[in-house]
């Protein structure tokens, strides 16, 4: 049999024949086979259901803290201050004295001055509302007088005066109700006058 060009091995002249014999040699049979992994068994851990408490603990995003399953927010609107307590030397409830200076038609002006004259400095809250009520009435009076003077020139100012009187009356009623309920009342436009009145009008001995 003629040899092909590349069927020679300089180290082994019979290499091509040995290679052909190796290609046709079958491997001996043995009794070994690939091992099979056992099928997974169903366990209680795989089918266990979470109860409502356990499920709720995972429902919120983790923020580094342990989140309780159930919680109630604090009532931040709950008041710890008793607004109905009696004020020293006056004998009236605190919420009544804080509401009186805001009564419309300049009635609150009189009550506010009396409170500043007879309520001691230790009752800072009552004196603040008294001074603020007096300052509010003074501001309303000044604006009303200006609108009255301008009204002598034009009738439009008289209409504005009536609107201002209506709005200021409604606002004073709202302030009186809020002060009686113990809610904060702050009229920023009369802050300086309020501070001056509280400082200059001292309680009588």
Q: pLDDT (tens digit, 9 = 90+) per residue, 133-143? A: 999 999 999 99
> Alpha-carbon Rg of the chain, whole angstroms?
48
Q: What is the pLDDT of residues 99-113, one digit of tens each?
A: 999 999 999 999 999
Which run of H or of E encompasses 147? helix 124-151
Q: Provide the pLDDT for residue 14.
A: 73
At residue 95, does pLDDT exceed 60? yes
pTM given for the model: 0.60
Q: What's CA 22's distance to the chain center, in Å? A: 85
Burial 16-31 (b: 16+ CB within 10 A, else e): beeeeeeeeeeeeeee
Q: How far apart are CA 186 and CA 93, in angstroms?
A: 20
> Looking at the DSSP assignment, which residues form a beta bridge with residue 93?
86
Segment among 52-66, 92-106, 109-123, 182-196 with least mean pLDDT:
52-66
């Amino acid at each position: 049999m003629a040899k092909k060009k590349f069927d020679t091995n300089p180290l082994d002249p019979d290499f091509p024949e040995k290679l052909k014999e190796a290609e046709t040699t079958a491997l001996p049979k043995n009794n070994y086979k690939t091992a099979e992994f056992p099928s997974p068994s169903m366990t209680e851990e795989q089918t266990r259901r979470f109860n409502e408490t356990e499920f709720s603990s995972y429902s919120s995003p983790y923020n580094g803290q342990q989140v309780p399953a159930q919680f109630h927010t604090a009532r931040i609107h709950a008041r710890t201050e008793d607004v109905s307590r009696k004020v020293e030397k006056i004998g009236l409830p605190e919420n009544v004295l804080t509401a009186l200076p805001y009564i419309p038609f300049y009635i609150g002006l009189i009550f506010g001055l009396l409170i500043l004259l007879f309520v001691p400095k230790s009752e800072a809250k009552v004196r603040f509302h008294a001074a603020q009520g007096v300052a509010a009435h003074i501001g309303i009076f000044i604006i009303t007088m200006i609108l009255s003077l301008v009204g002598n020139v034009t009738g439009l100012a008289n209409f504005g005066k009536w609107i201002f009187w209506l709005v200021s009356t409604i606002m004073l009623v709202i302030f009186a109700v809020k002060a009686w309920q113990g809610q904060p009342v702050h009229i920023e436009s009369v802050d300086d006058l309020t501070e001056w009145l509280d400082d200059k009008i001292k309680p009588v001995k």
